[in-house]
Chains A and B, each alone.
Chain A
Amino acid sequence: MLTLDGLVVEQEGFRLEAGLAVPEGAICALLGPSGAGKSTLLSVIAGFVAPAAGRVSWQGRDLAPLPPGRRPLSILFQDQNLFPHLTVAQNLGLGLRPDLRLSPADHARIDEALARTGLAGLGPRKPGTLSGGQQGRVALARALLRRRPLLLLDEPFSALGPGLKAEMLDLVRGIAAETGTTVLMVSHDPADARRIAPLTILVAEGRALPPAPTAALLDHPPPVLAAYLGK
């Protein structure tokens, strides 16, 4: 279980409070108007931004002392998820050993992950030669290899067309189900939430509310969400 306990985030002219828990294995969307702090909240959980108060814990363990790379999570950003000068296989390899001193067994696992994400045979290519969808799959394959119990998605697929995006979300759902991964996903499209996230955290007016069932929330939105959804 991911717990945000009396969390306060402060940045120049911006404040966000959060007190909530996300059950293990859940897929949970973060919805809310832009600028509400959805990405910032993920940054705090991932360890890039230090909270002004409160704590983030996973299975009861405070994450504060851990640097981002040691936290039990993987994160996919909006862009720059891959190093353009490294091959696809090397980019995946970073998920296993950040120093890239890979054993034959590691290479086998990389090939396996490539196959699982529909990228078989693309290992030697550089990311620049791949399509947007393929790049997203590489990033997901790496998250798969890292086997961290928590996956944070900061709109990594927002640049993809609707069809491709749906495909990627389904891939996320499949992988999460297989591995029991807990997923937190920032989105500004309610359809994304409906598609794979049974739970939704509403981030608005300086607060992140505890997760609520997505369908109910979207069918009967509170006023702030209604305004955002244009209802």
Chain B
Amino acid sequence: MARGPVAIDRGAIWPGLAVLALVLALVLGPLALVLAQAGGAGAITAADWAAVRFTLWQAALSAGLSTVLAVPVARALARRRFAGRAALVTALGAPFILPVIVAVLGLLALFGRAGILGRALTALGLPPVPIYGLQGVLVAHLFLNLPLAVRMILNGWAAIPPERFRLAAALGLAPRDVARLIERPMLRATLPGVALSIFLVCLTSFTVILIMGGGPRATSLGLAIYQAFRLEFALGHAASLAALQLALGLAATGAGLMVLRPAAFGAGRGLASLAPPADPKWLARIADALAIALLALFLALPVGLAALAGLAHLPGLEAEVLRAGARSMVIALAASALATAGALLAGQAIAHLPARSGRLADAAAMLALGVSPLVIGTGAFLAIRPFADPVRLALPVTLLANALMAFPFALRILAPDLAALRADYGRLSQSLGLTGRARLRLVTLPRLRRPLAFAAGLSAALSMGDLGVITLFSDPAQATLPALLYQRMGQYRMDEAYGISALLMGLSFGLFWAFDRMGRKDADA
């Protein structure tokens, strides 16, 4: 049915628009406050533009590589069934939700000079892996983002109706024909969204670029913002750079959405009822097995090594750390609830808006990916201070910032399923007068169980990793787990820091797994 001048379901739209307005206010408000405090924007320097060039270049490479490499792995996972497959699919979320410094140290435990590979090479009389430099930045971004790309594309495969594959099988199509007729159009629809998401994530990358970059050639817009805020105290310059970062994100989103609507981060349908035909040729089997094994190793080794480094120090953790863990869990759950609920409403509005306004709203929502934690923190400080003691609101601000950061991811997960829900049951619901809360309770929530659980789990795990926006008004008595991790590292207490990071990984992944599990408990039909 063509989307003509359709009668608009206002009840489905205004709450979502309110959420989007709030998101925009949270993104732009702090920036405006910082600008006002500075008394105007600062000029962007030649060094800044060099940083912009490298930032864009590495983000484009990271996005392109992750996307291209994810396709064969996702295809292998989609068409093969093996023991441990479901566990692997769940584990695909793991690197993405690790605190960056933990992920980097895990990677270096594998690739670094003193890492497993490095030592093996040295033992053989070979030079260590040249991990520092642009290649190091890319490896780290691949590690963080490739698994998620695989999962998104895998969901694209799972979303192909089984009937298509049945028809292909009935017609005796070869795997090559299936690829051309069925899989390529799906990839064409899915890949731009995958690449865009990763591009946006890498656009704000900071720690990875500095540590893995190996020298000042690898620099980033994030570093420039950091420098302006913390060494130069040049708020105007910082605000200009932060606005530039937002603008770049917006431009990338605009370009991406023009190519196509970004496909889902996916609904976590790891187990489709009917798999695409498995290519029986032994060469294809070996290739698939290799792709899966390489991904599994690439994931498991650094994560395992990072966990291992901390496991021994877990029993020695003080009560203060455990309290911080509990605090972080509460914040993560609350932020997850906020982000998921917000994304649900916003996604519903986007699904019900006319196509063009829907895309505009979608792009606005993605803006939240380009925010700078320093701008948010400073803005929050400036906003709260006239009315209350910011320290008292440190945790609520952290919660809100984490929810804001998780929001675009939750939206990417939910939007396609909300659109499908509208296409399948929108008219039926409308014709029965099923609107508002009743529709949410009786239709949306039960039908979107899986993507909702996936979105909630990812949001919760991301929030455990913390955005650390409250450096201006942090209270050690209410520290979150990532804050403690950094605090211990800053005081030589590396063993404790590793212990804390193991605890953090355990809690993050536990939350992610529990939610994912909840979503898989099968609802009928």
In the complex, A touching B (Cβ < 8 A):
yes
Q: A residues bordering B, Cβ < 8 Å?
A: 10-12, 43, 46-50, 52, 67-70, 74-75, 77, 80-81, 83-86, 90, 94-95, 98-100, 126-128, 142, 146
Closest 7 CB pairs of A and B: A69-B433, A11-B4, A84-B525, A99-B438, A68-B430, A98-B434, A128-B525
B427 within 8 A of A: yes
Q: Once the chains bind, are A128 and B524 in contact (CB under 8 Å)? A: yes
Per the bound structure, the CA–CA distance linking A113 and B274 in Å amounts to 38
Q: Once the chains bind, are B425 and A80 in contact (CB under 8 Å)? A: yes
The range of chain B's interface size is: 20 to 34
Q: Once the chains bind, are B427 and A68 in contact (CB under 8 Å)? A: yes
Complex interface: chain B residues within 8 A of A81 (CB): 428
Task: Show 24 A/B contacts (Cβ-Cβ < 8 Å), sorted by A.
Answer: A10-B4, A10-B5, A11-B2, A11-B4, A47-B430, A48-B7, A48-B427, A49-B5, A49-B6, A68-B427, A75-B427, A80-B424, A80-B427, A84-B525, A85-B446, A85-B447, A85-B523, A85-B525, A90-B442, A98-B434, A99-B442, A100-B438, A126-B525, A142-B432
Whose C-beta in chain B lies nearest to the C-beta of A97? B438
Whose C-beta in chain B lies nearest to the C-beta of A152? B431
A185 to chain B, nearest CB (A): 16
Per the bound structure, the CA–CA distance linking A94 and B432 in Å amounts to 7
Per the bound structure, the CA–CA distance linking A128 and B522 in Å amounts to 15
Looking at B435, B437, B441, the one whose CB has the most chain A CB atoms below 10 A away is B435
Contact with A along B415-454 (1 / 0, CB 8 A): 0000000001101101111110111011100110000000
Per the bound structure, the CA–CA distance linking A98 and B434 in Å amounts to 5
Q: B residues bordering A, Cβ < 8 Å?
A: 1-2, 4-7, 9, 424-425, 427-428, 430-435, 437-439, 441-443, 446-447, 523-525
Q: Once the chains bind, are B438 and A98 in contact (CB under 8 Å)? A: yes
Whose C-beta in chain B lies nearest to the C-beta of A154? B427
Per the bound structure, the CA–CA distance linking A101 and B447 in Å amounts to 19
Complex interface: chain A residues within 8 A of B524 (CB): 84-85, 126, 128
Complex interface: chain B residues within 8 A of A68 (CB): 7, 427, 430-431, 433
Complex interface: chain B residues within 8 A of A86 (CB): 442, 446
Q: Once the chains bind, are A98 and B432 in contact (CB under 8 Å)? A: yes
With A69-B431, A70-B433, A98-B432 as contacts: A50 and B7 at CB distance below 8 Å: yes
Known: A48-B430, A67-B435, A126-B524. 13 other contacts (CB 8 A): A46-B427, A48-B427, A50-B6, A52-B5, A69-B433, A77-B427, A83-B425, A86-B442, A95-B432, A98-B438, A98-B442, A99-B441, A142-B432
With A80-B428, A83-B425 as contacts: A67 and B447 at CB distance below 8 Å: no
Complex interface: chain B residues within 8 A of A128 (CB): 524-525
Whose C-beta in chain B lies nearest to the C-beta of A90? B442
Complex interface: chain B residues within 8 A of A46 (CB): 427, 431
B428 to chain A, nearest CB (A): 6
Per the bound structure, the CA–CA distance linking A20 and B439 in Å amounts to 35
Q: Once the chains bind, are B435 and A69 in contact (CB under 8 Å)? A: yes
Complex interface: chain B residues within 8 A of A50 (CB): 5-7
Looking at B5, B7, B430, B431, the one whose CB has the most chain A CB atoms below 10 A away is B431
Complex interface: chain A residues within 8 A of B439 (CB): 98
Per the bound structure, the CA–CA distance linking A201 and B428 in Å amounts to 25
Per the bound structure, the CA–CA distance linking A174 and B524 in Å amounts to 33
Whose C-beta in chain B lies nearest to the C-beta of A47? B7
Q: Once the chains bind, are A77 and B428 in contact (CB under 8 Å)? A: yes
Complex interface: chain A residues within 8 A of B438 (CB): 98-100
A104 to chain B, nearest CB (A): 20
Complex interface: chain A residues within 8 A of B4 (CB): 10-12, 49
**Which residue in B5, B428, B430, B431 is a CB contact (below 8 Å) of A83?**
B428
A207 to chain B, nearest CB (A): 18
B13 to chain A, nearest CB (A): 13
Complex interface: chain B residues within 8 A of A95 (CB): 432
Per the bound structure, the CA–CA distance linking A10 and B5 in Å amounts to 8
Per the bound structure, the CA–CA distance linking A49 and B6 in Å amounts to 4
Q: Once the chains bind, are B431 and A49 in contact (CB under 8 Å)? A: no
A117 to chain B, nearest CB (A): 17
Complex interface: chain A residues within 8 A of B425 (CB): 80, 83
Complex interface: chain A residues within 8 A of B433 (CB): 67-70, 98
Per the bound structure, the CA–CA distance linking A36 and B198 in Å amounts to 46
Per the bound structure, the CA–CA distance linking A84 and B424 in Å amounts to 11
Looking at A47, A50, A98, A127, the one whose CB has the most chain B CB atoms below 10 A away is A98
Q: Once the chains bind, are A67 and B430 in contact (CB under 8 Å)? A: yes
Per the bound structure, the CA–CA distance linking A10 and B525 in Å amounts to 37
Per the bound structure, the CA–CA distance linking A75 and B525 in Å amounts to 23
